[in-house]
A and B are shown apart, each in its own frame.
Chain A
Amino acid sequence: MCNQAVGLVAAELERQGIATVAIQLLREVALAVRPPRALFVPFAHGFPLDRPGEPERQHAVLEAALGMLESSETGAPVLLDFEPSD
């Protein structure tokens, strides 16, 4: 349910003028709820930023997500897949 909750809050943020990007752990929920910008990550629930205690891997997810805010993509919603470098 977290994926839906953050999607709904993201929509409200956008309605009030704050641009957003939401991490999503379940692709089908991202497709059903449609947060404005979503980065789909292939990690288990409880691990949205990849691994505990590994700042570099967490930064990789964050920078991919924030990079979506600088995209000139015009069609909302935008869904991007994160590919970890393993």
Chain B
Amino acid sequence: MGQMSEFSVSVRLFLKAYRWRRIDPVPFTRPSKPLSQARLALVSSAGFVLPDQERFDESLRGGDPSFRFIPSDTDGSILIDTHRSESFDHTAMRRDTELAFPLQRVRELVESGVVGSVAMRHLSFMGSITAPGRLVKNTAPEAVRALVDDQVDVALLVPV
């Protein structure tokens, strides 16, 4: 993989040795309605928070599995990058948060009729999670229940 070459040797060695959490069986839901009528939520792992929200905890050894709700009408330029990883260049996504949390892009997709509507709120995680047990068992189910309550039909997930 060419893209592994982006990382330092130590990161590459870690990634090669890491036991990835395999999804098995793979759950598969068909959208219940056409995209043009569906309600879309975003899930980003860029570690963005609102100015009045607590930063993701960079000291947790296995990674911080918590999440933040980001209201869908938020101006992306106020988002704060609290992603702890130094393995990638943060500059571009700080300059244009749409790159990793496309709040305005999805509003535009609603305006153009591609997507029916956006959810009331989107989800922000910090993706640097090497020990995902708590994410899988606790925080992801909790976050997803909120989107179910919001009657979300489809979700787009954006890692950095």
A residues in contact (CB < 8 Å) with B:
1-29, 32-36, 42, 44-53, 55, 58-59, 62-63, 65-66, 69-70, 76-77
Contacts and interface: CB of A to CB of B under 8 A. Distances in A.
Nearest to B65: A5
A36 B26 CA distance: 6
Sorted nearest first, the 7 A-B pairs with minimum C-beta distance are A2-B127, A2-B159, A45-B88, A52-B96, A76-B28, A32-B20, A14-B27
Contact of B27 (A25, A36, A63): A36
A34 B159 contact: no
A8 B115 contact: no
Contacts, number: 225
Contact of B105 (A16, A19, A55, A76): A55
16 contacts: A3-B127, A5-B132, A8-B135, A9-B157, A20-B29, A24-B159, A26-B1, A26-B3, A28-B4, A36-B28, A46-B91, A46-B99, A49-B98, A52-B96, A52-B98, A76-B26
A10 B123 CA distance: 12
A12 B85 contact: no
Contact of B132 (A8, A17, A58): A8
A23 B155 CA distance: 11
A46 B1 contact: no
Contact of A23 (B95, B141, B152, B158): B158
Interface in B59-99: 63, 85, 87-93, 95-96, 98-99
Nearest to B31: A19
A62 B102 contact: yes
B159 A6 contact: yes
Contacts of B158: 6, 22-23, 48-49
